[in-house]
Amino acid sequence: MSLAALLAALLLPGLQEQQEPKPEPPEDMVPQQEEGGESADLIDLGRIELYPQLSVLVFSSDFEADPAFGGGLMARAPMPWFSRDLLGLEEDDFGIFAGITVSGIDRDTDPELEDPSGTLVFACLGMDYTFLKDETFLLRGQVGLEYGYFGGVTDLDDGVAALFGAVFGVNLGGGIWVSYSPQLAVADAGNLIFFNSLGVVIEF
């Protein structure tokens, strides 16, 4: 065997090995991007909270109506992107909430109205901020909008009002809090409805 042939026999396998692409590692062995490097969700529906509530509605004097009972459901979810990515907070303190409350009204006027009573439906949407949440207590502030449907009652017009509220909670354990939620709806005509709601906060 010549010297050239001997060198080729020794070097050729190594050159072929370098040219052949290396096989890709299994997908589960590829390093994943750390969670902290990913953009947070705008709304985290995986940590939604439900608020079933019983309410007492107190109407301002222009309604000429006694307080009324009602019931409803509110849902709340944290906003990680807004809280951490945009504002740089350590926790997801800001959240978004939505809810519905059904009640009734019976206006006592003189002279009597053509339709003095009816069913009321209120739907709200807004943002909240968690001032305190530990193993025992929960405190949140709320601001948003509320649409009121007044069931065709005379002199009451359907419309949107500004909503200001709060949530006070005491932990019962297992992701359940007993809650009190006062909310004030302020219409552009100056009419007020004060919602006093007792219920529970259920974390999922």
Predicted local confidence at residue 35, as pLDDT: 45
CA 158, CA 110: separation in Å to the nearest integer? Answer: 23
List pLDDT tens digits, range 75-134: 999 999 999 999 999 999 999 999 999 999 999 988 889 999 999 999 999 999 999 999
CATH number for 44-203 (one of 3.10.20.740, 2.60.120.10, 1.10.540.10, 2.40.160.20): it is: 2.40.160.20
Each residue of 33-48: b (16+ CB within 10 Å) or e? eeeeeeebbeebeeee
Q: Tokens representing 80?
A: 């990680």
Which has the closest alpha carbon to 76: 55, 52, 54?
52
Percent of the chain with pLDDT over 90: 76
Choose the weakest-confidence range: 34-48, 83-97, 185-199.
34-48
Q: List the chain domain ranges.
A: 44-203
Sign of the torsion formed by the C-alpha atoms of 117, 121, 127 and 129:
positive
* pLDDT(197) > 80: yes
Range 130-144 average pLDDT: 97
